[in-house]
Copies of this chain bind each other. A is one copy, B any other.
Amino acid sequence: MDADVIVVGGGVIGTAIAWRAATAGRDTVLLDPGEAAEKASEVAAGMLAPVSESVFGEENLLALNLRALDRFPSFAEELEAAAGFHVGLRTEGTLNVALDSGDLAALRRMGEFRRGIGLPAEEVTGRECRRLEPFLASNVAGGLLAKGDLSVDNRRYTRTLRAAAARAGVREMTGRATAIDGGTVHTPERTITAATVVAAPGNGVTRLDGIPGPVRKAIRPVKGQILRVRHPGTIPPVATRTIRAMVVGREAYLVPREDGEIVIGATQEERADRDITVGAVHDLLGDARAVLPAVSELILAETSVGLRPGSTDNGPVVGREGEDLIIAAGHFRNGILLSAVTADAVTALLDGKDPAPEWAPFTPGRFQ
């Protein structure tokens, strides 16, 4: 037996789980393919905005995401204390803006919905929008200020998780798991064993022998292209809050970081390649300019692609699958947001307890 727990997958989910397992005193191995560019969490925008992200008919997922939003700050605080540095959590909230009266009506409905579930949602006029965010387009007709929404610098967050995991004694190994068999994990280079294996390989789940077929079939990569822009020295910050809008039927968002970077996202494409395409970059830049014209003067610093692991019902897949296997996969667009409560759920499962009730609809068994 090489460890108490082997966590397969070094993305945000696997690393969060490994940190918590080691903190609870378990001898933990984190098996990571080691290619940061392949991790959806490295490409994410880091919005923690369950309501803005919610879709009608996904009430179970919304309930889980709301639990995740509630949990995130305390998790981040403990993480920062453990690692000794900050994750770049921003609490200025989200300003959803409308560029025409149809969008404004939709925002009003979203406001009612948010308030109905007890979340802050303040209706603001176009003028108030521009007072809050002076660089907004002059045709912004009105908005909805979601003070409860958070965002986190996804790359600082995963770096912090990794540092905390190392400090807690997690042993990181480089390797790509090909099969799980009982408590044994096979890679092309080696075989390691533990009392429990936690499979958190993102899209890798589809190529991992030992994961039940229905789970493997339920998950597929969803391509997202995303941009990062930076301020040249001559230009003051053009955004304080996360800004979201519908632009010609596409959801556009701009997520500002403490260091002056703004993340602009994102496409959602049912494909698995990593090509940065002319059409996607053009659309994203156009949407961003439509909402915040001053971004025209900013520096296009990065174009990147993430392959988000989406399940057939858009929900994550977390639960036990036999004596020695726990699955934590399929986090789709909510990997960063759900990382804290996923680590909590896996901690409970390792302790032989039930995860929080919001997890009940998201077991691997639902696909059988």
Interface residues of A (CB under 8 A from B): 229, 232, 273, 275-279, 281-282, 285-286, 288-289, 295-301, 303
Contact = CB atoms under 8 A, between A and B. Distances in A.
B285 A281 contact: yes
B285 A300 contact: no
A279 B273 CA distance: 27
B296 A289 contact: no
A282 B289 CA distance: 9
A16 B174 CA distance: 50
Contact of A277 (B278, B282, B297): B297
Nearest to A282: B285
A273 B229 CA distance: 16
Contacts of A275: 232, 299
Copies of this protein chain in the complex: 2
Contacts of A299: 275-278
B303 A278 contact: no
A300 B303 contact: yes
A300 B278 contact: yes
Contact of A278 (B276, B279, B296): B296
A278 B281 CA distance: 10
Given A285-B285, A300-B303, A303-B300, A278 B229 contact: yes
A223 to B, nearest CB: 13
Nearest to A284: B282
Contact of A282 (B232, B286, B301, B303): B286
Give me the 9 closest cross-chain CB pairs, A-B, nearest first. Answer: A279-B296, A282-B285, A275-B299, A276-B300, A278-B295, A278-B298, A281-B300, A278-B296, A278-B300
Contacts of A279: 289, 295-297
A300 B283 CA distance: 13
Given A278-B295, A279-B289, 7 more contacts: A229-B278, A275-B299, A276-B300, A277-B298, A277-B300, A279-B297, A282-B289
8 contacts: A232-B275, A278-B288, A278-B289, A278-B299, A279-B295, A281-B300, A282-B296, A286-B286
